[in-house]
Structures are given as C-alpha cells and as structure tokens.
Chains A and B, each alone.
Chain A
Amino acid sequence: MTETLVRETVAEPPDRAAPPRRKRREDPGRGWRLYLPLGLYLLFTLVPFYWMLVFAFRPTGSTALVPWPITFEHFDTVWNDLGFGLFFRNSLLIGVGTLGVVSVLALAGGYALARFRFRGQRVFLLALLCTQFIPGAMMLIPLFVIFKGAGLLNSLTGLVVADTAFQLPLALILMSGFVRNVPVELEEAAMVDGCTRLRAFFAITLPQLRPALVAVGSFAFIGAWNNFLFALMFASRQDKFTLPVGLSYALGEFNTDFGALAAGGVVAAVPVVLVFAVVQRFLVQGLSAGAVKG
C-alpha cells in the first residue's frame, strides 16, 4: 500500500508534465501531416524559381541541372540588347507613380467612404466592385481613344493614369475597411481638444493606417510593375516600354530565347521580392487589420 503510494507519488510529477509530450507520442504522423503538404507546396512554388535561375545562369545549350559554369551572357543580352536598363527605369517610374497616386487617392476616398454617409454611397461601392469584373482587354479600345484625345499616348504619365484607374477601385474598398477599424472616437477626442478634422486625421488616424497604406501601396506597385497590356498598347515608342514588354521580346515568332527570358525574369522579380521582404511585416498587419473587429 505504502509502496504503491510512493510509486504513485514519485510518478506524479512526470505525469503532470507529460500531457504535451504524451500527446506528441500518440500522434507520430503529426509532423508528416504538417510538413509534407507544406513541403509539396513549397516545391510547387519554388521549382519555377529554380528553373528560372538555372536558365538564367547556365550557358545556352547546356542541360545541366545546376548552373555551372555560371554565365552572365543572358543578363548582358537583356540589359544591353533588349534595353532592360531603360525598361527598368520606366517600370520603376510607373510603379512608384501609381503607388503614390493610388495611395493618396485611396486614403482620401477610403476615409470619405468610411466616415461619411452620402446619397448613392452603396451604389458607388457596388460600382467600384463591378469594375473589378471587367477585364482590361475589354476596355482597351475605348481607353485608347480617350487617351489619344487627352494626349496621354506614348507617355509614362498616361500609363500611370491607366494603372491608377485600374488599381484604385480595389484600393478604395480596402482602405475604407481599414479606416472603419480605426475608432472614430479617437478623432472625436482630438477634435474636442481643438484639432480640425484634417489635423485629427493626420495626427491620429494616419499613423494607425500605416500597415494599410503599405498593403494598398504594395498592391498598386505590383499591379503597375507587372502590367503588360497597357504598357504595350498605350505606348508606341521604344523608349516608353516597360519590363513586361521587354520580357516578351524573348518570345519570338519562330524562336524563344529561354536564357534571356529567365534572366529578364530575374531582373523583373528581384525588386518585387526585395520590396516584399522589406514591407512583409506591415503587409501582414495590414491584411489582417480588418479580420477581427475590436
């Protein structure tokens, strides 16, 4: 009896600490179930990048699975023969321009949609949503005619306007959701303390919207950076083309330069990857900001 009691007493502490460990022992397949799908998904997403790097760095005609000996001939082709230097600059200007315009307009419009009630508000929101269902290609000819009339063809400003027009509706919808999650009472308290609405917005609301701005701005930048159709159709001058147009040069009517295509892909992807690496933290905050209502 005493012996049993002692054994139970001695056994007690490990038992108390055991549940998590025992649970793990009971479920040996947990790791597999978690990491196998994740591993497969990673493989699915990373293999194209692997191929891109292999094609970009290995010599033409090589079938090696590792890019050795490394060559930079494809980068030389895209930068010098395809003119990627200029296309890169153009894409950057359009991306930054669109980011700026969309962010400012989305901030102002999103604030108005969240804070004010006005006639036709629901219809306006519905119209914004509906614009997302229209593919850009359908709007091509009407937009072309409008841009021609406005003198916006063959200019990067025109491309910023076109990209902004297509990025803004989603940005407005997202931003209005973010603004709604910032308690209006904070602004009211600031106004009670003597702030104007504008001052209250800049002092109280705007700092809270930093992750939202990053999320909206990132989407706008990526959308403009990747846009091929507008850049090709609204520009008919070689010095106004962008990276996606330059990339498609590698796909000829009779031949495809896979090395140049891959090297161009690396050049086009690196800035986007860097931007995401820097803003990742804000982006997650921004995207999850409206997930749970406080």
Chain B
Amino acid sequence: MRIRGALAVALSLGLVLTGCSDAGGGGGNATITFWDNNGGPGRTPIYEELIKRFEAANPTIKVEYVGVPSASVQQKYDTAIAGGSTPDVGGVTTSYLANMIGQDALEPLDERVDSGPLKGKLLPNLVETVRQTAPDNKLYSLPSSGNLDVIWYRKDWFEQAGLTPPTTWDELVDRATKLTDVGRNRYGYTIRGGAGSVFQLLTEAYAYSGVEKFFDGTTSTVKDPANAELIGKVAALYKKATPEADVNNNYTQMVAQFTGGSVAMMHHNLGSYSDVTKALGTDEVGAITLPVGPSGRKTVVPNPTDGFAVFKNSKNPDAAWKFAEFLVSRESNSYWNEKVGQIPANTDVRSEAWIEKNQPVKMALGVLEDKATRIVPAPVYLPEYSSITKTDSEPAYQKVLLGQLSPQEFLTGLADKLTTAQQEWEERK
C-alpha cells in the first residue's frame, strides 16, 4: 500500500515535470530573439506595441521579446556570450558596450546604416559617444535614445519662496540653503552619496569647471582644481541643506526623497521623468540643465547612450538588423521616446509636436544641439572604468562628505587610476 503511495508520488512528480517541458517554437519564416535591457512595466508594453507593428509590416519575421531586468543585464549578456547563446538583437547602453565589443560578440553596423534610410538621420553627438566605446571607432550599436543629467526642482516651492531656478552652481548653493527648513523636514538639495555617486559627481564637476576634455593626452583632467572646488561646494551642503542619510543615497533613495516631498532639488537624469511627474504632476516639477561655473561654458558629460546591437551569432542577421532599423525609424523612435521621456536619436523626430510640449526633453535636445555645448564623454570604454569609479571611488567620496578626505586628494587618487587605465588602453590599441 505504502509502496503504491510512493509510486503515486513519483508519478505525480513526473506529471509536474512533464508540465514543465518546453513548448514548441513559433511560426514565421524567420524568428528573431530580442532582449530588452531594461525590462519592466514601464517599457515592456511599449516594445510589445512596436513588435506588433513590426510584425504587421514584416509578416515573415517573428520577434520573440525577452525583458531582462536592468540590474542583471550585463551578467546575462556575459553569460550568454560565454555560452554562445546570444540573442539576435539586444538593447545595450554604452556603459557596457565596450565589454561586449571586447568579447567579439557584436556586428559592426556602419555599412548597414550608410546603405539604409537612417544615413545622416542620427544625432551626431549620440553616434560619437557610441563610436568612442570601440577601439576601431566602428558603430556597434544603433543609437536610439539619449539621456542627459538635469536638476529636477519643485516649481511650487520656488514660487512660494520667490526664487528663480539656479543657472550657476553658486546660485544652486544659495537656493538649496534658502529652501531648507529642517523643522518641516524640507531640504534644499539631495546628494547621491551611495551607489553611482561618482559618475554623477563628475558630470557636476565638469559642468562647473568647463574643462573640455576628460584626458589631456593620456593624463586625466579629473583632478583639475576647479573640479575640486565644485566638490567642496557640494560637500559643504551635506547635512546643512541635505538629509543626513544622503551619504548612502543611491538614485532610488534620491528619487524617493524628491517624490516624497522632502527635497527641493535633485540631480538625476531624464530617466526620472515618469517617476517625478507621476508622483508630483507636471505643473509642480521642472527640469533645468546642470548649472555652469565661473567660466560660463556649457560642458556636458553625457549619460550612457541607449541603442540596439546585432549579435554575430545571429542566424538571421538581416532580419535582426531590419528590426533594429525599424525601432529607430522616425515613427518608432518618436513613439518610444515620447513614452519614456528621453532624447530621440532620429533627428527627424525633432519636428514632432510632442517635443514642444515636453519641457525636459526639449531643453535636453536644445543642450545637445547647441553648438556652444562641449561634450566630454567619460571613458566608459576602459575595462577598469566601472571598478575605478565605483568600487574604489565611491567609499572615498563618502569620506569627502564626512570631512575625512579633501576633495583635491580624492580627485587626485581618482585621476591617477584613470590615467593608468587610459595609458594601458592606448598601449593595447
């Protein structure tokens, strides 16, 4: 009886496992797999709509969508490349593109772009940031969206206090101090002191100093005294005009503070658009570009550029390219960027009506298209860049905030490591 019971358990188990088995593949002449590098409720439905449109226009191609959580996408790509199971086309950003190029996983797209409808239609600044990630200066990702660091601010608080949004860093310090009311749990500014702090800090430092190159030859310009001056100004705000917990802030905590109504200004990027407008409404929130320093020059360290890469392992590279090209076409690129609130890479989209209505995107496009703007791309192509700016430097910046390390010492240490990495990179090239 008991033996029969055990057999029944084994049989049920078999049924469970049978239920687990794979379903068959899909139809269509070519099936391509597309990995979204930032899958989630905000983006997945937009891609699903675009895929539907693509399949309607190209009935012989079927697209299988896979949403990969952004926090693990690099590991997922690395594992897939090492195991030889890459998708046909995937969403990538320039922050890890160099690593993928280094593993010889991607197809260069220059010829395909030059021989198709996208020739001359891509925002040059974005194309340049993508090219800079490759040692051979080729285009391994078709840029789709740009992003820009901005200061999100509470319009209503500024109006109540009779203040105008800052245009210089000194004004920002002034506004942050005036808008702080600790008794009401209101702070003028929030500092990103935890994960991701240093990249954001460098964008602030270069915006202030106006230094136009990240490297002078192979020597990093990070330790420029003007950069240190800005870091000193920001660190001086800590605890006076910012919450004390900021020393551990990552972006989610900053956004939570801002949307929770305890902070007047927050430095993040356009990616926060949906979060801040959803929580506070478009009337109460505004965005300005990072203020300038005494030089008055507008220098921008660009955010990673989003795009689509075609993988070398693809059995249907033409279909994969066709899909990537479709996603960056005027109509799709407009649809996508309007929904996510980012800068469209396709220059034809500039004339769309929604851009006029979206103040943050219009402002960001204006900055990128302004001939006076100097773009200072961070060396994300350096394999050590992530470890230098995160593992090594983030704890050091926390020491700066806590007054245990001077801004100049901090920047000198960071610059030396970047210089060494750049020199090694040049040698390898």
The answer on a CB contact under 8 Å between B67 and A238 is yes
Q: How far is the CB of A103 from chain B (nearest CB, A)?
A: 9
Query: With A and B bound together, what is the CA distance between A104 and B8 in angstroms?
Result: 12
Given A144-B82, A251-B69, A255-B255, A63-B10 contact (CB < 8 Å):
no
Question: Looking at the complex, which one of B22, B40, B272 makes contact with A82 (CB distance below 8 Å)?
Answer: B40
CB distance from A132 to the nearest CB of B (A): 22
- A155 and B21 contacting across the interface, CB-CB below 8 Å: yes
Q: Which one of A140, A153, A157 lies within 8 Å of B20 (CB-CB)? A: A157
* Residues B259 and A61 in contact, CB atoms below 8 Å apart: yes
Question: Does B65 reach chain A (CB closer than 8 Å)?
Answer: yes
Residues of A within 8 A of B280 (CB): 61
B366 beta carbon closer than 8 Å to chain A: no
Distance in angstroms from B89 CB to nearest chain A CB is 13
Q: How far is the CB of A95 from chain B (nearest CB, A)?
A: 10
CB distance from B1 to the nearest CB of A (A): 9
Let me know if B423 is at the binding interface, CB within 8 A.
no
A104 B41 Cβ-Cβ under 8 A: no
A96: CB under 8 A from chain B? yes
Segment 31-45 of B: residues with Cβ below 8 Å from A: 33, 35, 37-45
Query: Which A-chain residue is minimally distant from B87 (CB atoms)?
Result: A236
Q: State how many angstroms separate the Cβ of A82 from the closest Cβ of chain B.
A: 5
In the complex, the chain B residue whose C-beta lies closest to that of A207 is B2
B251 nearest CB neighbor, chain A only = A254
Any B CB within 8 A of the CB of A100: yes
- Bound Cα distance A232, B310 (Å): 21
**Smallest distance from the beta carbon of B248 to chain A beta carbons, Å?**
16
Judging by beta carbons under 8 Å apart, are B67 and A236 in contact? no
Q: Does the CB pair B83–A100 fall under 8 Å? A: no
Is A202's beta carbon under 8 Å from chain B? yes
Q: Which residues of chain A (182-216) have a CB below 8 Å from chain B?
A: 198-199, 202-203, 206
Within 8 A of A (CB), among B269-287: 269-272, 274-275, 278-280
The yes or no answer to B120 lying at the interface (CB within 8 A) is no
Query: Most A CB atoms within 10 A — which of B10, B39, B45?
Result: B39
The answer to the question of B84 belonging to the interface, with a C-beta cut-off of 8 Å to chain A, is: yes
B41's partner among A96, A145, A155, A260 (CB-CB below 8 A) is: A260
Give me 30 A-to-B residue pairs in the complex whose CB atoms sit less than 8 angstroms apart, sorted by A's number.
A60-B279, A63-B261, A78-B41, A81-B41, A81-B44, A81-B45, A82-B44, A100-B13, A104-B9, A141-B82, A141-B83, A160-B20, A232-B68, A237-B64, A237-B66, A238-B66, A248-B69, A248-B72, A250-B41, A251-B40, A251-B252, A252-B271, A253-B271, A254-B251, A254-B268, A255-B272, A255-B274, A255-B275, A256-B252, A256-B256
A-B contacts besides A155-B21, A202-B2, 8 pairs, CB < 8 Å: A96-B16, A144-B83, A144-B85, A232-B72, A236-B33, A236-B35, A249-B67, A255-B271
List chain A positions with a Cβ less than 8 A from chain B. 60-61, 63, 77-78, 81-82, 93-94, 96-97, 100-101, 104, 140-141, 144-145, 148, 153-157, 159-160, 198-199, 202-203, 206, 232-233, 236-239, 245, 248-258, 260
